[in-house]
């Protein structure tokens, strides 16, 4: 069965063709916005909802609003009607996604220098290990990345000054990068490589080391959290995850623990992600900790990994 059949059985009106309805979609009036023209789409291949006006919405929450039942009842209905998408087999080389070219880093990017290592050590990380394992690099006071799209705005570059450069890999190749300020003075703690300058938009994939993932994994927000939990973890690069990331996770993992920061918004997003993964057949659950994962001691993080994944950490501390 599918969500389309659920809509039929519960007499929810929809259209299979017409304005705002693309191939492979059916259209409904969106319950999340002032919609009068079937802007809410249900994708028939993957069973997910997205409104052309207000964006993507979690499946369970959408069914809850359309049918007029609470979230727990909606979840039961979704699980009853769900259509399982065939799981792809994870191999050492993941399916190619886009043409491959070389990523350009900011000018004056170098191996980690003393100031970068001091910052990592202050945060209780082994700087040499991270540099070797994750390919970290650093910048100094002048690190421009030229971006022609900014020229019309009177700028010619983005300055990645005083940052740790964090490569993002997919298919065994660097496809983008993000960066972390080490001074504590920058307005933006993180600056990402623009999607238009990336080989693959990082929000279409997940951060980590795909070759070291297994059936079970720990989903976190960002790179520092991944480093704390180790190579079995992966990050959505922020709490605002995308449908592409949901599909990647559900095709790779059978069991996922979602561990986001302990604030209200992050926990709400963690629950939404776990719900979307459950709908796609992944055993998923939220683990709430006292602060953020990167602030854990290494022993605390290792204990969580061992408890969730039933493995012991064997790589250097």
Lowest-pLDDT range, 69-73, 123-127, 163-167, 218-222? 69-73
* pLDDT of the residue at 1: 67
Q: What are phi and psi of 207, to 5 degrees?
A: -90, 135
258 beta partners = 219, 286
Q: pLDDT tens digits for 301-317?
A: 999 888 887 754 443 43
Q: Are 218 and 259 in contact (CB under 8 A)?
A: yes
Q: pLDDT tens digits for 134-145?
A: 999 999 999 998
For residue 25, the Cα-to-chain-centroid distance in whole angstroms is 24
pLDDT higher than threshold 50 for residue 217: yes
Domain boundaries, the chain: 3-81, 110-198, 210-309
Decide: pTM greater than 0.85.
Answer: no
Q: Which two tokens stand for residue 272?
A: 């939404």
Annotation: CATH topology of 210-309? Dna Topoisomerase Vi A Subunit; Chain: A, domain 2 (3.40.1360)
Q: Which contacts (CB < 8 Å, 24+ apart) does range 46-52 have?
A: 46/85, 46/243, 46/247, 47/2, 47/3, 47/82, 47/83, 47/85, 47/279, 48/243, 48/246, 50/243, 52/20
pLDDT higher than threshold 50 for residue 254: yes
* pLDDT of the residue at 311: 53
- CATH 1.10.10.60 assigned to domain 110-198? The reply is no
* pLDDT of the residue at 315: 39
Helix (H) or strand (E) holding 27: strand 25-28
Average pLDDT of every residue of the chain: 84
- Whether 210-309 and 110-198 are alike in CATH topology: the answer is no
Highest mean pLDDT among 92-101, 149-158, 270-279, 301-310: 270-279
């Amino acid at each position: 069965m599918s969500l389309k059949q659920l809509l039929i059985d519960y007499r929810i009106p929809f259209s299979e063709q017409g304005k705002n309805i693309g191939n492979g979609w059916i259209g409904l009036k969106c319950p999340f916005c002032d919609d009068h023209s079937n802007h809410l789409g249900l994708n028939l291949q993957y069973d997910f909802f997205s409104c052309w006006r207000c964006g993507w919405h979690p499946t369970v929450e959408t069914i809850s609003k359309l049918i007029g039942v609470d979230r727990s009842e909606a979840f039961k209905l979704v699980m009853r009607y769900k259509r399982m998408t065939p799981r792809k087999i994870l191999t050492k080389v993941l399916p190619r996604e886009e043409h491959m070219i070389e990523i350009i880093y900011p000018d004056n990017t170098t191996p980690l220098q003393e100031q970068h290592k001091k910052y990592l050590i202050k945060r209780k990380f082994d700087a040499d290990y991270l540099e070797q394992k994750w390919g970290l690099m650093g910048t100094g006071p002048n690190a421009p990345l030229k971006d022609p799209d900014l020229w019309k705005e009177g700028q010619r570059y983005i300055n990645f000054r005083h940052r740790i450069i964090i490569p993002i890999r997919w298919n065994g190749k660097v496809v983008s990068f993000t960066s972390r300020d080490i001074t504590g003075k920058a307005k933006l703690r993180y600056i990402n490589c623009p999607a238009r300058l990336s080989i693959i938009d990082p929000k279409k994939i997940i951060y980590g080391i795909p070759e070291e993932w297994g059936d079970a994994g720990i989903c976190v927000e960002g790179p520092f959290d991944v480093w704390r939990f180790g190579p079995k973890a992966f990050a959505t690069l922020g709490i605002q995850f995308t449908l592409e990331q949901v599909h990647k996770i559900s095709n790779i993992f059978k069991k996922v623990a979602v561990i986001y920061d302990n604030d209200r918004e992050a926990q709400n997003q963690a629950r939404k992600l776990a719900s979307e993964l459950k709908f796609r057949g992944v055993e998923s659950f939220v683990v709430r900790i006292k602060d953020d994962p990167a602030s854990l001691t290494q022993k605390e993080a290792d204990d969580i990994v061992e408890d969730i994944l039933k493995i012991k950490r064997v790589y250097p501390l």
